[in-house]
């Protein structure tokens, strides 16, 4: 339709713009719809937390929250339900996994975003996507067949010989199963996610900033260190938080290599029993024991609270970074 015809239709009144009240109603309806959709995740979290509290109420009514949270002994047959070994086991395995994953992931992301040729990027990105899509049980089998013997035969003797004086590196149970094996498996699992997110964040930095730094004589590494990385520091923190959140809730892969012994760890070579492994191993079994079902759902509630606290604190740290930048 030509502009002349459009003008004639407007003059004849056949083509008119929507009235202002109609547009306002449409905008309000769209705003309400988006607000409701935004509230859905919050409502789901509230529903899940409420369901866990209701199902865990018998154990919460029989024991104080401090007794459950700080109790060291897990003997359901004797009515002892201490979650502390499982909470510490979860934190130990997650911390080791994140510490092992972050440095190489950051270096790989910087190389892919700043140094690598486009052809290499087109090869690396699909490989990262495939690694991220591998089922956790496959990582668990790989850890069972490769990482556990490697820790037992190589890392444990080296640590015992050279690093035995350091408390958290002391070898107390040289079986290969333990926190270090679980941390290595977790690091490999979360690495594709962290690399992909940091790579995308680095790609958002305008090339004009790089060119300006290079124009005044800075090397490429100086440009990355002083210009690029400070610009994307909040995004890097967000990527690490995202990887750590996945590591906190990982179950099958860690369950297969961590040893599953309810004790308080003191070394990375100790066995542990994370909360997700406790729930996956025991839920649906031995329900004849009083309060056992409620205790496991209480463990699920504790895990949910730990993850929520971790994400809230991480969000506060991220907002502080954003304000400083």
> What residues have CB less than 8 Å from 287, skipping those under 6 apart?
293
Mean pLDDT over 21-27 rounds to 81
Choice between 115 and 319, residue whose per-residue pLDDT is larger: 115
Closest to 275 measured CA to CA, from 42, 45, 52: 52
| DSSP summary character for residue 169 | G
Mean pLDDT over 126-148 rounds to 91
The token pair that represents 301 in the structure block = 């509630």
CA distance 28 to 153: 66
State residue 146's pLDDT score: 93
Residue pLDDT, tens place only, 30-66: 888 998 998 998 899 899 999 999 998 999 888 888 8
- The whole-model pTM stands at 0.83
Choice between 15 and 154, residue whose per-residue pLDDT is larger: 154
Mean pLDDT over 199-210 rounds to 89
Residue pLDDT, tens place only, 149-158: 999 988 888 8
Instruction: Give yes or no for a contact between 81 and 68, defined as CB atoms under 8 angstroms apart.
Output: yes
Pairing assessment for the beta strands 80-81 and 74-75 based on DSSP bridges: antiparallel
Residue 55 burial (C-beta neighbours within 10 Å; 0-12, 13-18, 19+): middle
State residue 237's pLDDT score: 86
CA distance 176 to 150: 7
**What does the domain layout of the chain look like in residue ranges?**
89-324
State residue 312's pLDDT score: 82
**For the chain, where are the alpha helices, taking DSSP H only?**
3-12, 20-55, 57-62, 65-70, 84-110, 118-133, 136-142, 148-150, 156-162, 179-203, 207-215, 220-223, 229-231, 233-249, 252-257, 275-282, 292-324
Mean pLDDT of the chain: 85
The token pair that represents 237 in the structure block = 């923190």
The CATH number of domain 89-324 is 1.10.3720.10? yes
Calculate what percentage of the chain has a pLDDT beyond 90. 30
Choice between 186 and 171, residue whose per-residue pLDDT is larger: 186
Residue pLDDT, tens place only, 238-248: 889 888 888 88
Assign 15 a pLDDT band (cuts: 50, 70, 90). very low
Q: How far is CA 207 from CA 178, 211, 226, 230, 234, in A?
A: 45, 6, 14, 15, 19
Rg (C-alpha) for the chain, rounded Å, is: 27
């Amino acid at each position: 339709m030509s502009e002349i015809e459009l003008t004639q239709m407007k003059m004849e009144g056949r083509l008119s713009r929507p009235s202002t009240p109609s547009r306002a109603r449409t905008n309000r309806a769209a705003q309400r719809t988006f607000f409701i959709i935004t509230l859905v995740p919050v409502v789901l979290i509230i529903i899940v937390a409420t369901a866990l509290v209701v199902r865990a109420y018998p154990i919460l009514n029989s024991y104080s929250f401090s007794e459950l949270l700080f109790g060291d002994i897990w003997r359901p047959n004797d009515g002892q339900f201490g979650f502390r070994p499982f909470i510490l086991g979860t934190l130990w395995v997650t911390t080791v996994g994140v510490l092992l994953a972050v440095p190489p992931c950051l270096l790989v992301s910087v190389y892919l975003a700043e140094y690598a040729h486009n052809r290499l990027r087109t090869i690396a990105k699909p490989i990262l996507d495939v690694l991220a899509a591998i089922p956790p049980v496959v990582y668990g089998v790989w850890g069972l067949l490769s990482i556990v013997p490697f820790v037992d035969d190589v890392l444990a003797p080296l640590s015992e010989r050279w690093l035995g004086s350091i408390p958290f590196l002391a070898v107390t149970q040289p079986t290969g199963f333990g926190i270090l094996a679980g941390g290595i498996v977790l690091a490999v699992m979360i690495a594709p996610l962290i690399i992909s997110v940091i790579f995308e964040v680095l790609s958002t930095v305008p090339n004009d900033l790089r060119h300006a730094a290079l124009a005044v004589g800075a090397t490429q590494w100086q440009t990355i260190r002083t210009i690029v990385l400070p610009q994307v520091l909040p995004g890097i923190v967000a990527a690490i938080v995202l990887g750590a959140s996945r590591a906190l809730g990982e179950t099958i892969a860690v369950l297969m290599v961590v040893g599953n012994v309810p004790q308080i760890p003191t070394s990375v070579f100790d066995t542990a029993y994370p909360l997700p492994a406790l729930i996956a191993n025991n839920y649906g079994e031995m329900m004849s024991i009083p309060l056992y079902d409620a205790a496991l759902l209480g463990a699920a509630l504790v895990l949910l609270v730990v993850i929520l606290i971790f994400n809230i604190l991480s969000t506060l740290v991220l907002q502080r970074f954003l304000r400083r930048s």
